[in-house]
Amino acid sequence: MLNRRTFIGACFSTLGLSFLDAKALKPWHLGHHGDFYFKQMAQSVYVMHGAKKRDHDAQCFIHNPAFIESKNGIIIIDTGASYVVGKAVLNQIAQISPKPIIAIFNTHHHSDHWFANGAIVEAYPDVKIYGHQNIIESATHMYLQGEERLISQAKAKSFYLPSYFVDDDENMTIDGEDFHIQHPKSAHSNSDISITHLQSNVIFLGDIVLESTLGYFSEISSILQNITFLEKLSQQKRYALYVVGHGTSGNYQKTVAPYLYYLSSIKEEVSKAYEEDKGIFELEEAHKRLKQKFTWKEDFTFPLRFVENHMEFVYAELEKEDNFL
């Protein structure tokens, strides 16, 4: 695995630029996880990679907030999982630029990507929040109803979802910065967007791509469509940097390629069993082969039972496709 120094070196050589990895004067210290601060990854693009593991010390900071410095302000991509995370993100941005936060993109409806919006709105009430319109229904359903709402409120303090909606293949400009949006109808969730910043050629993928970890897929996800979207990405010209939702950002080979390989391998094995008329409880052979195929890294942060869960998910999707035909 590349260490941070070589990774950043690789990143710069792709961009043909060089930046100082200037440590923040006051980094955010999270117990045994160490210090966190935004690093410049490209001209005007900064990312702060979150903690690798969810535990008490991580304080819910497990995602990768990013920001772009425009002429007159700051555009944040994914604010974070709580009000506390939002305050820390603001504090770290302020150490790099005194400009106001003018816009936020939320890549999808999961709380770790937008519960911190309230902290930003509190400091900058005029901030515009962008996302796919499915984020409203999916976030409301998951976090804002019944008893769940109280638990959510304890984390977020107040709820601010996007009120400016973007859709697939949309081009937009914010304060002179140009963006291209892509929206797979259903991949990690049904509200995912990827955001390409054209000036830097950096793509922000939210949880459509995860590195060194795997997400869970729910009834509004589709592993098959996630694969289709990653195949579409593989056909596009290479971006200078792929910012992932969790794990470490990097080039195509380090981010999209391994995740696509993992999901495609699941699809391949399960399709084979499905075509052989094997039932959902007869996937042991396929499971064994998949486990052998992947060398799980020591710092991989998801339990192995996720593989079974993903296999069952693909099986159910294949059945659904069959019934639909």
Burial of 203 (0-12, 13-18, 19+ CB in 10 A): buried
247 vs 250 by CB, closer to Zn ion: 247
Q: Which residue has the tokens 């004067």?
A: 25
Q: Which of residues 216-245 bind Zn ion (CB under 5 A)?
A: 245
Residue 207 lies near Zn ion (rule: CB under 5 A)? yes
Q: Is 112 a residue that touches Zn ion (CB under 5 A)? A: yes
Give the binding range for Zn ion (CB under 5 A) out of 16-24, 201-209, 256-264, 268-276.
Answer: 201-209
- Nearest to Zn ion of 112, 211 (CB atom): 112
| Of 168, 248, 249, 242, residue with least CA distance to 200 | 242
Task: Report, in Å, the least distance between residue 64 CB and Zn ion.
Answer: 9
Number of residues that bind Zn ion (CB under 5 A): 4
Binding to Zn ion by residue 192, rule CB under 5 A? Answer: no
> For Zn ion, which is the closer residue by CB, 70 or 182?
182
Non-local (6+) Cβ contacts of 207 within 8 A are 107, 108, 110, 113, 188, 189, 192, 215, 245, 246
Q: Which range in 130-138, 167-175, 203-211, 226-234 contacts Zn ion by CB under 5 A?
A: 203-211
Query: Which residue stretch of 31-39, 107-115, 158-166, 282-290 sits at the interface with Zn ion (rule: CB under 5 A)?
Result: 107-115
The sign of the CA dihedral 236, 168, 15, 256 is negative
Binding Zn ion (rule: CB under 5 A), the pick from 110, 254, 267, 310 is 110
Tell whether residue 69 is a contact of Zn ion (CB under 5 A). Answer: no
Whose CA is closest to 167, among 177, 159, 179, 156?
A: 179
Contact 189, 149 (CB under 8 A): no
Shortest Å distance, C-beta 78 to Zn ion: 8
Is residue 64 within 8 Å of 94, Cβ to Cβ?
no
Kindly state whether residue 211 participates in binding Zn ion, applying the rule CB under 5 A. Answer: no
- 322: Cα within 13 Å, side-chain hemisphere: 10
Q: Which residues bind Zn ion (CB under 5 A)?
A: 110, 112, 207, 245
